[in-house]
């Protein structure tokens, strides 16, 4: 007898036993009466929002009590054309940097080393205590607002003005000589402060 036939003869009783056990499991009866289960629907499933009455619009035109006092301000609108001229700022441009709304101007000096990018940044959700920079120092209040100066990690000098418990306005000047950049940042801060809430 060949090996294949011997294996088949040995496997045949094992397969027959498995078949008998399987059939025995299917022939068990469970005592009791058969009753219909939950009624099932043959219609399509209901999608969220379907089959319900439309709800009233709950949006409000009232400002959220947690809304930033800067929410209605646009950075380029805070500095008037006369104010920009007074500081020698040109080339106004709106920008969006991360968490802030930004207006950028150019201050052109006599040469490249005396020229600067000047920015006004509105932060609705960053307080004066959230300033990230080096050499952070409190300065006398700018108008009626608390303020700090700092050196930005990307370079340049900045003044942060408190505009509320969770919001601030930064004036940042990048380029040229740091002392002049800090002077220009403070001049811009002094110019915009009366426009702040």
Number of domains in the chain: 1
Q: By C-alpha distance, which of 94, 92, 190, 97 is closest to 149? A: 190
pLDDT at 32: 55
36 in any annotated domain: no
Do the strands 116-123 and 100-107 form a parallel or antiparallel pair, or are they unpaired?
antiparallel
Neighbours of 108 (CB within 10 A): 13
Q: Single out the residue of 111, 94, 118 nearest to residue 186, CA to CA.
A: 118
- Identify whether 25 is part of a domain: no
Asked if residue 140 belongs to a domain, the reply is: yes
Under 8 Å CB-to-CB from 129, ≥6 apart: which residues? none
* Mean pLDDT of all residues in 70-91: 94
Residue among 187, 190, 170 nearest 179 (CA): 187
> Confidence class of residue 95 from pLDDT cuts 50, 70 and 90?
confident
User: Within a domain: residue 20?
Assistant: no
For residue 1, pLDDT over 60 is answered with no
The pLDDT score that the predictor gives to residue 26 is 44
**Residue 70 domain flag:** no
Helix or strand or coil: residue 78?
Answer: helix
pLDDT band at 105 (very low <50, low <70, confident <90, very high): very high
Question: Residues of 52-79 as b/e, b for ≥16 C-beta within 10 angstroms?
Answer: eeeeeeeeeeeeeeeebebeebebbebb
Tens digit of pLDDT for each residue in 25-51?
444 455 555 555 544 444 444 333 444
pTM of the model: 0.65
* Portion of the chain with pLDDT greater than 90, in percent: 55
Cα–Cα dist 19/90, whole Å: 91
Strands 134-142 and 167-174: unpaired
With a cut of 70, say whether residue 195 has pLDDT above it.
yes
CATH number of the domain bearing residue 114? 3.40.1000
What is the pLDDT, as a whole number, of residue 33?
A: 56
The domain of 179 spans: 75-195
Those residues with Cβ within 8 angstroms of residue 183's Cβ, 6 or more apart along the chain or in another chain: none
């Amino acid at each position: 007898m060949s090996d294949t036939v011997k294996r088949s003869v040995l496997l045949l009783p094992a397969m027959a036993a498995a078949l008998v056990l399987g059939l025995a499991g299917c022939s068990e009866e469970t005592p009791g009466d058969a009753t219909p289960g939950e009624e099932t629907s043959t219609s399509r499933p209901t999608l969220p929002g379907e089959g319900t009455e439309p709800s009233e619009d709950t949006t409000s035109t009232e400002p959220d009590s947690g809304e930033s006092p800067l929410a209605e301000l646009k950075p380029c609108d805070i500095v008037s054309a006369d104010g920009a001229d007074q500081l020698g700022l040109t080339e106004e441009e709106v920008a969006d940097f991360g968490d802030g709304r930004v207006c950028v101007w150019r201050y052109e000096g006599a040469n490249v080393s005396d020229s600067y990018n000047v920015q006004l940044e509105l932060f609705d959700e960053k307080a004066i205590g959230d300033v990230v920079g080096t050499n952070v120092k409190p300065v006398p209040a700018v108008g009626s607002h608390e303020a700090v100066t700092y050196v930005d990690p990307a370079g340049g000098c900045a003044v942060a003005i408190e505009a509320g418990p969770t919001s601030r306005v930064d004036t940042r000047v990048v380029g040229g000589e740091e002392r002049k950049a800090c002077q220009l940042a403070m001049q811009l801060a002094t110019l915009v402060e009366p426009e702040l809430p």
